[in-house]
């Protein structure tokens, strides 16, 4: 979404979990990784910062320095408030989408990180579905003032939150929000952006 927002041409290369350590000679333990000519950048936020600094004449992802620093708060909200519920709702779906070597890696790494077998994590998913909409109250109130977090049009802050819900959508299905919920309507607007780029991503 950030690359499309900047209007930059790019090739997307999906990798299985177990291949990530070999990308770019072990440049990063996690994806995404951006290669731009001979520059390598890891981490979504750092990639957005790099793109805005390197291509300042293209549409801005942050809307200036204040937007850049406050996007960290949006990222933190997404990670601390939304990621664990999405994990609980999506974890078995993700597991079931993987090939066998990745399933083994996924099971072991999630046990290590979450302290529970993935079945035990998934058992909490139904309860999360009930309370998920309430977690988004700060987003809902913001959308009372403006159609995107970024104002009249999206900024990287929108793509951060969109990413959390898109992660759910392409693994476990649509986020548990009513069709007339302003957050769901914003999510649909995000799916339409950049010629429906997000909508074209479907589960494997």
Q: What residues line the site for a copy of itself (CB under 8 A)?
A: 60, 62-74, 76-77, 79-81, 137-142, 145-146, 149-151, 155, 157
Cβ proximity to a copy of itself, 67 vs 125, nearer residue: 67
Quick one: 143 or 191, whose CB is closer to a copy of itself? 143
Secondary structure element (H or E) that encloses residue 140, with its range: helix 137-142
Query: Closest distance between a copy of itself and the C-beta of residue 78, in Å?
Result: 8
Task: Name the residue nearer to a copy of itself (CB basis): 55 or 105.
Answer: 55
98: left (phi over 0), alpha (psi -120 to 50) or beta: beta
SS3 of residue 41 by DSSP: strand
Task: In angstroms, give the least distance from the CB of 112 to a copy of itself.
Answer: 21
Shortest Cβ 144–a copy of itself spacing (Å) = 8
What is the b/e burial string over 169-188, where b = at least 16 CB atoms within 10 angstroms of the residue's CB? bbbbeebbbeeebbbbebbe
Interacting residues of 85 by C-beta distance below 8 A, sequence separation 6+: 128, 131, 132, 135
User: In this complex, which beta carbon is closest to a copy of itself, that of residue 53 or of residue 119?
Assistant: 53
At closest approach, how far in Å is the CB of 140 from a copy of itself?
8
């Amino acid at each position: 979404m950030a690359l499309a927002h900047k209007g930059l041409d790019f090739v997307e290369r999906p990798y299985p979990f177990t291949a990530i350590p070999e990308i770019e000679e072990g440049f990063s333990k996690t994806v995404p990784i951006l290669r731009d000519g001979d520059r390598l950048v890891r981490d979504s936020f750092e990639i957005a910062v790099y793109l805005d600094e390197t291509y300042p004449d293209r549409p801005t992802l942050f809307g200036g320095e204040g937007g850049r620093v406050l996007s960290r708060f949006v990222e933190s909200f997404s990670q601390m408030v939304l990621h664990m519920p999405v994990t609980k709702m999506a974890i078995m779906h993700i597991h079931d989408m993987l090939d066998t070597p990745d399933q083994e890696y996924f099971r072991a790494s999630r046990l290590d990180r979450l302290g529970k077998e993935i079945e035990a994590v998934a058992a909490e998913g139904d309860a999360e579905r009930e309370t998920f909409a309430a977690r988004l109250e700060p987003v809902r109130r913001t959308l009372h003032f403006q159609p995107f977090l970024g104002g009249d049009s999206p900024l990287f802050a929108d793509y951060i939150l969109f990413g959390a819900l898109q992660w759910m959508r392409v693994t476990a299905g649509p986020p548990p929000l009513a069709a007339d919920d302003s957050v769901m309507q914003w999510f649909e607007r995000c799916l339409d952006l950049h010629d429906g780029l997000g909508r074209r991503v479907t589960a494997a």
